[in-house]
Amino acid sequence: MIHPHTEIKFINDIVGYGVVATQFIPKGTITWVKDKLDRTFSPSEVGEFDEIYKGILEKYCYVDNKGSYVLCWDISRFVNHSFNSNCFSTAYEFEIAVRDIHPGEELTDDYGYLNVKEPFECIQEHGSERTHVLPDDLLKYHPIWDKKIKEGFQFFNDVEQPLIKLLPQEIVVKAKNIGHKKEELESILNCYFDRNKKH
């Protein structure tokens, strides 16, 4: 489930629709939680679909660390890519804002941590030398991304968290402990799915 202070909006002819903030969302806020309405398809289930459905899944799903395709039920499936994303996945099945997000600003993810199947070219962005999202980006960039996530968690206990009620209690405790520096952050590398490994 996406943060309640968001809406879908047409961005431009290149990226199409995206998700923008309707109110200020401060750094450290949970911006998305995998919830009970999100649909998960195993690799074998995906393999049984006709090509038209496979294309939809490839476009709107992310792949988890087990190789399953996760289709989000709400507007979170319209969150666009950015090499300078303001939201990051965590090892706890939720995303966190790694900087302040202002009204009208897009919520973005780096698709490099979403286990894409094939490389794809992206618009070059100021502040990044990357031009492609690659299937193994998590292996290369997780130390940098872990640092950003850790910085976001420093504010976790000081900001409003409207989505925290969707988390299992043990994850709530863990997240608060990370925010209080009582527990170490698990690496975003835990989200990686190795397609070359037998599963």
CATH number at residue 157: 2.170.270.10
Q: Higher confidence at residue 156 or residue 124? A: 156
- pLDDT at position 199 over 90: no
Q: What is the domain extent for residue 114? A: 6-191
Which whole number is the average pLDDT over 176-185?
98
Which whole number is the average pLDDT over 145-154?
99
pLDDT confidence of residue 127: 87
pLDDT tens digit sequence for 69-79: 999 999 999 99
As a whole-number percent, the residues of the chain with pLDDT over 70 amount to 99
Token look-up 């037998």 returns: 198
- pLDDT at position 99 over 70: yes
Please, are residues 114 and 140 in contact by the beta-carbon 8 Å criterion? Answer: no
Whether residue 199 lies inside any domain: the answer is no
Whether residue 27 lies inside any domain: the answer is yes
Instruction: Work out the mean pLDDT of the chain and round it to a whole number.
Output: 97
Whether residue 197 lies inside any domain: the answer is no
- pLDDT at position 105 over 80: yes
Element (H, E) at 15: none
CA atoms within 13 A on the CB side of 150: 13
Q: What is the pTM of this model?
A: 0.96
Whether residue 141 lies inside any domain: the answer is yes
What is the total count of domains within the chain? Answer: 1
With bands split at pLDDT 50, 70 and 90, how would you rate the model's confidence at 32?
Answer: very high
Whether residue 16 lies inside any domain: the answer is yes
- pLDDT at position 198 over 90: no
Here the tokens at position 25 are 């969302």
Whether residue 198 lies inside any domain: the answer is no
d(CA 48, CA 59): 17
Whether residue 166 lies inside any domain: the answer is yes
With bands split at pLDDT 50, 70 and 90, how would you rate the model's confidence at 124?
Answer: confident
Whether residue 185 lies inside any domain: the answer is yes
pLDDT tens digit sequence for 34-60: 999 999 999 999 999 999 999 999 999
